[in-house]
Amino acid sequence: MPTLEKLPNLRILKLDHGAFTGKKMVCSAECFPKLDSLTLGWLENLEEWTVDEGAMPTLRHLEIGHCRKLKMLPDGLRFITTLRQLKIEMMPMAFKDKLVEGGEDFFKVQHVPSIIFLNLYEK
């Protein structure tokens, strides 16, 4: 990620099917300055994701699917006020339960106008 996040004009990034193999992904402050859309899918080793304040300042669409070891969204997501759509697909029902109103992580996404959950499963 340290190399990718410095690309100044990157607008769409899709990491899937082993494109990222680490356990922890970090998006540092000022990373991806023009990123509009981010997709994380089938990242089977991903357990933790950190987003620093100031990261991805223009992100509008975020999609996460099939990242079964990822237990929660990063706290720093609350600072991405441009986010308009969050799509969660093929993740455990417990992941959704944290994000809905009243859930322990709702504060991270309460500013997002459209949150879509598809094909969730019980673990």
pLDDT for residue 117 is more than 80:
yes
Q: For 13-48, what is each residue's pLDDT tens digit? A: 999 998 999 999 999 999 999 999 999 999 999 999
Overall average pLDDT of the 58-67 stretch: 98
Q: Which phi and psi (to 5°) does residue 107 adopt?
A: -60, -25
Residue 60 to residue 43: CA distance in whole angstroms: 21
pLDDT for residue 2 is more than 80:
no
Reduced DSSP (H G I as helix, E B as strand, rest coil) percent helix, strand, coil of the chain, to 5: 15, 30, 55
Residue 95: exposed, middle, or buried by beta-carbon count in 10 A (0-12, 13-18, 19+)?
Answer: buried
Query: What pLDDT is stored for residue 44 in this prediction?
Result: 95
Query: What pLDDT is stored for residue 119 in this prediction?
Result: 95
Query: What pLDDT is stored for residue 6 in this prediction?
Result: 86
Q: For 67-116, what is each residue's pLDDT tens digit? A: 999 999 999 999 999 999 999 999 999 999 999 999 999 999 999 999 99
Of 6, 108, 102, nearest to 88 by C-alpha is 108
Look at phi and psi of residue 14 and say left if phi exceeds 0, alpha if psi is from -120 to 50, else beta.
beta
Return all residues near 17 (Cβ < 8 A) that are at least 6 apart.
41, 42
Residue with tokens 């023009």: 34
